[in-house]
């Protein structure tokens, strides 16, 4: 298996483990993501997910499959559907997701990283989205995620030029949240911190932020998130801890 899911305490780690191909994503790997993410969603002990590579995060799609699985229009559409399903599974996970980026993060690798809530990267990481080198139109969902993160002007430059960006540029334009010497350690630290917070708050915030980026407005369902939170055990513990001047135990 070229994707490896491990759970330690409250943090799940999904490792892209295909170093001989610079962690390029195959059709089989894209197709496996939804099932693996279902496991993370169903495990109540897991509060956050870290996605990482080995030496590289991911060089993108496995180009060797372009001559086989993507050789004609029907194959390309089937392949694109698998990529979209994997991306949706990451973006739709109700728990926080953090991409720990080392080495190259290109094409499909960037799609995976952009589907995560946060991105922390090594100082020598490199980024690019290169469909303009392949004659492919980047799909709507992935383009929207890029625009949401870096804005339309930089999204245009990234997609029109297919140039590779260095980590400093990625930080400056908001493509990554932080640069660090050890992205995996920092991602796990962030995930562990999130695990100590009120999960009703964290997951509610993720839901509302997603609604906002999708152009939604406050409605009964959003208001219900607040109503449920103030009736939750997390709220009772948070108030008690505040009054007793102690750290909360969520």
Q: What is the pLDDT of residues 134-148, one digit of tens each?
A: 888 898 999 999 999
Residue 36 has pLDDT above 90, yes or no: yes
Is the confidence at residue 68, as pLDDT, over 80?
A: no
Beta-bridged to residue 25, according to DSSP, are: 61
- pLDDT bin (cut points 50, 70, 90) of residue 217 is confident
pLDDT of residue 78: 86
C-alpha span between 180 and 120 (Å, rounded): 7
Secondary-structure percent of the chain, ordered helix, strand, coil, rounded to 5? 55, 15, 30
Distance, in Å, from the CA atom of 120 to the CA atom of 190, rounded to the nearest integer, reads: 10
**Residue 113: its pLDDT value, please?**
98
Q: What confidence tens digit (pLDDT) does each residue in 196-209 have? A: 999 999 999 999 99
Question: In whole angstroms, what is the distance from residue 105 CA to residue 83 CA?
Answer: 16
Residue 186: how many CA atoms within 13 Å on its side-chain side?
Answer: 17
CB contact at 8 A, 211 and 218? no
Report helix, strand or coil for 242.
helix
Answer yes or no: is pLDDT of 58 > 70. Answer: yes
pLDDT at 180: 98
- As a whole number of angstroms, the longest Cα–Cα distance in the chain is 66
Residue 159 has pLDDT above 70, yes or no: yes
Task: Please tell me whether residue 249 adopts helix, strand or coil conformation.
Answer: coil
Q: Quick one: average pLDDT of 69-73?
A: 69
Query: Which pTM does this prediction carry?
Result: 0.92
Provide the pLDDT confidence category of residue 65 given band limits of 50, 70 and 90. Answer: confident
Residue 73 reports pLDDT greater than 80: no
d(CA 211, CA 213): 6
Q: What is the pLDDT of residues 80-134, one digit of tens each?
A: 889 999 999 999 999 999 999 999 999 999 999 999 999 999 999 999 999 999 8
Q: How far apart are CA 14 and CA 17, in angstroms?
A: 9
């Amino acid at each position: 298996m070229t994707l490896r899911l491990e759970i330690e305490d409250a943090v799940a780690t999904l490792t892209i483990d295909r170093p001989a191909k610079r962690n390029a994503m195959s059709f089989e790997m894209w197709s496996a993501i939804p099932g693996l993410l279902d496991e993370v969603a169903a495990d109540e002990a897991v509060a956050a997910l870290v996605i990482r590579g080995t030496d590289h995060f991911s060089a993108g799609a496995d180009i060797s499959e372009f001559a086989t699985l993507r050789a004609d229009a029907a194959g390309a559409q089937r392949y694109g559907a698998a990529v979209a399903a994997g991306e949706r599974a990451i973006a739709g996970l109700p728990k926080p997701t953090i991409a720990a980026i080392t080495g190259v993060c290109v094409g499909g690798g960037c799609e995976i990283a952009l589907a995560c809530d946060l991105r922390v990267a090594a100082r020598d990481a490199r980024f690019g989205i290169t469909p303009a080198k392949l004659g492919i139109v980047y799909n709507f969902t992935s383009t929207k995620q890029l625009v949401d993160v870096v804005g339309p002007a930089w999204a245009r430059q990234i997609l029109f030029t297919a140039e590779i960006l260095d980590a400093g540029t990625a930080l400056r334009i908001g493509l990554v949240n932080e640069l660090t010497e050890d992205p995996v350690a920092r991602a796990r630290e962030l995930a562990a911190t999130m695990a100590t917070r009120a999960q009703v708050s964290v997951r509610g915030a993720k839901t509302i932020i997603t609604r906002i980026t999708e152009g939604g407005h406050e409605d009964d369902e959003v208001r219900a998130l607040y109503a449920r939170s103030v009736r939750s055990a997390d709220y009772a513990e948070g108030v008690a801890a505040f009054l007793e001047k102690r750290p909360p135990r969520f």
